[in-house]
Amino acid sequence: MEREQVERFEKWFRNYVAGFYGRDKYVNANLKLKEKHTLRVRNEMLYLVDRLGLSPNQRRIAEAAALFHDIGRFKQFAKYRTYNDGRSINHSSLGLNVLRETKILDNLDRKERQLIEKAVKYHGLKQLPQTLSGGPLLFAKLVRDADKLDVFYTVISYYRQYRKNPLRFRLEMEFPDKPGYSAEVVDDILNDRRTDYRGLRTFNDMKLLQLGWVYDVNFVPTLERIKKRRFLEKILSFLPRTADVKKVRKKIFEYMEQKIINEN
């Protein structure tokens, strides 16, 4: 893949997204959230590939995969007014369909195209398939880590806006803002398990699930960036100060520190 192709992909991405904006301020606000998210994920991806010492061509493939990882989100929200896959359509599958229908990847080498397509297809799964290996596994892991880095940043900004003025908040609230949280989500974190998104019931459950993402981080540079930016501490600040949450805090910090130590 040549550098010019990546530049063409970015231009296409911006033009494609622009076609979904209209007069609905609620839809526009949520589309803008994902557009900015995608461009920041691209930057997080460049950080990761540089830290991991990947080749220039791997860098370009990874950058393209980052640009396209959430391409299905725009059609999803424009049609269903939600980013919740369970209440609408799987955004990863939808994104794969968009790439194929628009033929934006058709000029690429077949292997490069498949690497991008598989990264888009698998980035949103609870766990990657055990059969995935080699290049497809590498790029799927890269997209998942780069995506998490920016989602941490995004949701913290989201929580601050909501806390400051809930009545003027225009972004989607997927779960009710009720006191408390589900014991099952806490139990998952304390036992090193990934929480099933379908089991979430409240706004606080979502925050706890995001803390548990540390179990699904693939590369130490990702953990180091999470630590440096204090993402976990910031999310914890939006949760109730209970004995359960204190246990969760202790567990996830011990896990993260040990992973960093073991890999360095």
pLDDT on residue 127 = 86
Residue of 109, 38, 25 lying closest to 71 (CA atoms): 38
| One-letter amino acid of 158 | Y
Q: Are 206 and 174 in contact (CB under 8 A)?
A: yes
**Residue 109 contacts by C-beta under 8 Å, 6 or more apart in sequence?**
1
Classify 3-145 by CATH class: mainly alpha
Boundaries of every domain in the chain: 3-145, 175-263
pLDDT on residue 264 = 66
The conformational region for residue 192 under phi > 0 = left, psi -120 to 50 = alpha, else beta, is: left
The pTM of the full predicted model, rounded to 2 decimals, is 0.92
d(CA 185, CA 17): 35
d(CA 29, CA 2): 34
pLDDT on residue 262 = 86
How many other CB atoms are found less than 10 A from the CB of residue 81? 14
DSSP single-letter state for residue 201:
-
pLDDT on residue 8 = 96
Task: List helix spans (H) across 53-167.
Answer: 56-68, 72-80, 91-102, 110-122, 134-164
> pLDDT truncated to tens, each residue of the chain (264 aa)?
899 999 999 999 999 999 999 999 999 999 999 999 999 999 999 999 999 999 999 999 999 999 999 999 999 999 999 998 888 999 999 999 999 999 999 999 999 999 999 999 999 888 898 999 999 999 999 999 999 999 999 999 999 988 988 877 877 778 888 889 999 999 999 998 888 888 899 999 999 999 999 999 999 999 999 999 999 999 999 999 999 999 999 999 999 999 999 876
pLDDT on residue 197 = 83
Residue of 3, 20, 141, 135 lying closest to 69 (CA atoms): 141
